[in-house]
Amino acid sequence: MAERWDRARVLALAPDASSLRAAQLLASGRSWPLTGAADDSALWGECLGSTVTPYRTVVDLSGPAYRCSCPSRKFPCKHALALMLLWSDGTVGTNGGPPDWAASWLAARSAKASDPKEPKAPADPAAALRRAEQRETRVASGLTEVDRWLCDQVRQGLAASQRYGYRHWDDIAARMIDAQAPGLAERLRALAAVPYSGPGWDGRLLEEYALLWLLAAAGREQAGLPPPLRDTVRSRVGFTIRQADVLARATPVRDHWHVLARRDLDQDRIRTRRVWLRGRRTGRTALVLSFAATGQSLDDSLTVSTQIDADLAFYPAAVPLRALLATRHDIGPAGPPSGTTIGGLLAGYAAALAEDPWLDTWPSVLEATPARAPVPCLYDAAGEALPLHPGAGDCWPLFALSGGRPLTVAGEWTPRGLWPLTAWDEGGMVVPL
């Protein structure tokens, strides 16, 4: 029997802001002539909608998994969310078993859970090798094509870039998809926004072209690179490693991992969640990624300011950051992490760049005070300052929390500035930003 969830936990499942709003409006007894719960492990209800027959919603809280008769493609839909909100408020009764339409789905789910899927038959190894060789050839020609394209840009001059539409970058990105180099494609597609990113766009565009140029060169010369750098180059070009291979290759690192910060990004119908961890014993920083299609919930199991005793398997790289949670042992609360100075951050980033020059998102924890002039920034006890990322907005909650006094701030350092994600005040209170 599960404990009843608090409201925040339910709301965190919402796939997007509009579902959240719709669910809050629907979470009223008015809309639900019938609701019920079984041992706080399953919920069901009938919700009055625009159709004659009510929508039938079932939630299996052990997943959680959802089923609803509404046509929405969002997952969970607003009805499932609203039903969970009602339950969270303690307004769903637990008397009586589920009606047949709910019981049959719940029964099918529990049957599936106790019947593990059969392992897939091994693929034809010779065919797999042939496909891998074909891909290497395609990627190599893609790298050559990017080289040529970059030289064309620089030859003709970047001044025209503000007159190009998205097509200019989408076309070459599409050719990289054909060349099976999705990492290059993603970098190229992201460039379309740079000419409109405000003063200094020309320098930023040249930086990105130069780093692509460097990546293409490294991709061609990968055979001569030290293995960790080769892994970095291949992953940035777009070769992925299956999770099973990461788990098989890596020696797991067990530590008490402090969950420092979380950031969600929406791109191209995919939602990405970045969770930054730091090991208490090893001092290592780790990045755990999770993905969901737009309209679906992201993994919510890592909560900021908790500490998780776990084995992490790091992806092979020159600067290993990305990791998989291999085994979880225990979880508990955590206080504020210790932060570094501005100088410490810059030195750490410089050392990391020496291993991976493409690294442009560097996790850091600072002991610093926010200021607004000459630009919104953070300064440390030595009076050294770094700007906040312009894309992070006003950051008013950060300033309000500080009141002109130092904070511990966890965030992502980028060449454009620090993107603050979590702050702890002097009393140790944690605030996700």
Partner 1 sequence: MNSWHDLVAASLIGTERSVVPAVGIPGLPPAEDDPGDPAAVLLDRAALLTAARRAGRRPDRAEPLPVCAPDPRPTVSPAAARRLRRLISGEHPDLLTEWLAAAVARGLRLPPQLLPALMDRVLRGRPADPGLPRLLAEAGGPRARWLAGLNPDWEHAAEEPSTDDRTWRLGDTRQRRGYLASLLNRDPDAGRALITGGWDAAGAADRVMFLSVLADALGPADEPLLEAALDDGAADVRRWAAYLLARLPGSALGQRMAERALRYVRVEQTVQGPRLSIGTPRRPDAELQRDGITAHPEPIRAPVESRNHVLLEVLARTPLSTWTDGLGLTPAEVVALPSGGWAPVMFAGWSRAAIAQGNRDWISALLGRALNGRPGTAAEIEALRQLARRADPALGAPGATPVSAGDPDAPPPIRDTVRVLRFRHDMLKELHNG
Under rule CB under 8 A, which residues in 127-156 are in contact with partner 1?
150-152, 154-156
Return the amino acid letter for 161. Answer: S
Using rule CB under 8 A, residue 162 touches partner 1: no
By CB under 8 A, what part of segment 338-357 binds partner 1?
Answer: 342-343, 346, 349-350, 353-354, 357
Peptide bond between residue 333 and the one before it cis (omega within 30 degrees of 0): no
Q: Determine the Cα–Cα distance for residues 182 and 139; give it in Å rounded to an integer.
A: 10
DSSP 93-159: ---S---HHHHHHHHHHHHHHTSPPPPPPPP-HHHHHHHHHHHHHHHHHHHHHHHHHHHHHHHH-GG
Residue choice 111, 159, 223, 265 for contact with partner 1 (CB under 8 A): 159
β 65-68/55-60 pair status: antiparallel
In this chain, which of 23, 80, 401, 418 binds partner 1, going by CB under 8 A? 401
Nearer to partner 1, 152 or 299 (CB): 152
The pair of structure tokens assigned to 232 is 């970095």
- Contact call for residue 321 and partner 1 (CB under 8 A): no
What distance in Å separates the CA atoms of residue 283 and residue 229, rounded to the nearest whole number? Answer: 22
Q: How many residues contact partner 1, by CB under 8 A?
A: 74
Write down the residue that tokens 């950031």 correspond to.
Answer: 263
For residue 200, the tally of other CB atoms under 10 A from its CB is: 11
- List the structure tokens of 256: 């008490």
CA 282, 377, 272 angle in degrees (round to 5)? 55
- 397 is an interface residue for partner 1 by CB under 8 A: yes
When binding is defined by CB under 8 A, the residue of 93, 97, 198, 226 that contacts partner 1 is: 93
Q: Which stretch binds partner 1 (CB under 8 A): 69-77, 111-119, 226-234, 369-377?
A: 369-377
Q: Which region, judged by CB under 8 A, interacts with partner 1, from 89-97, 120-128, 135-143, 254-262?
A: 89-97
Cβ at position 121, least distance to partner 1 in Å = 46
Site stretch for partner 1 (CB under 8 A), options 178-186, 256-264, 305-313, 385-393: 385-393
Contact 105/67 with Cβ under 8 angstroms? yes
Residue 226 Cβ vs partner 1, minimum distance, rounded to whole Å: 17
In the block, tokens 């490693």 appear at 241
Quick one: 9 or 284, whose CB is closer to partner 1?
9
- Judged by CB under 8 A, the residue of 203, 226, 390, 391 near partner 1 is 203
Residue 335 DSSP one-character state: -
Q: Does 35 sit near partner 1 (CB under 8 A)? A: yes
* Of the residues 112, 249, 328, 372, which one makes contact with partner 1 according to CB under 8 A: 372
CB of 319 to partner 1, least distance (A): 13
Q: How far is the CB of 248 from partner 1 (least distance, A)?
A: 33
**Binding to partner 1, residues 53-82 (CB under 8 A):** none
Residue 409 per-residue DSSP state: E
* Contact positions with partner 1 (CB under 8 A) in 205-244: 206-207, 209-211, 213-214
Amino acid letter, 317 = A
When asked if residue 40 is in the footprint of partner 1 (CB under 8 A), the reply is no
Task: Compute the distance between CA of residue 294 and CA of residue 250 in angstroms, rounded to an integer.
Answer: 31
Q: Which of 241, 237, 268, 240 is nearest to 142 (CA)?
A: 237
Residue 193 lies near partner 1 (rule: CB under 8 A): no
Residue 164 or residue 396: which is nearer to partner 1 going by CB?
396
Supply the minimum distance, in Å, between the C-beta of residue 335 and partner 1: 15
**Among 71, 157, 199, 332, interactor with partner 1 by CB under 8 A:** 157
Element (H, E) at 43: strand 42-47
Is the sign of the CA dihedral 82, 87, 89, 93 positive or negative?
positive
If one asks whether residue 381 binds partner 1 (CB under 8 A), the answer comes out as no
Taking CB under 8 A as the criterion, the residue among 34, 108, 193, 381 binding partner 1 is 34
Given candidates 386, 392, 410, 421, which one binds partner 1 under the rule CB under 8 A?
Answer: 386
Look up residue 23 and give its amino acid: A
Q: How far apart (Å, rounded) are the C-alpha atoms in residues 429 and 406?
A: 13
| Of 125 and 404, CB closest to partner 1 | 404
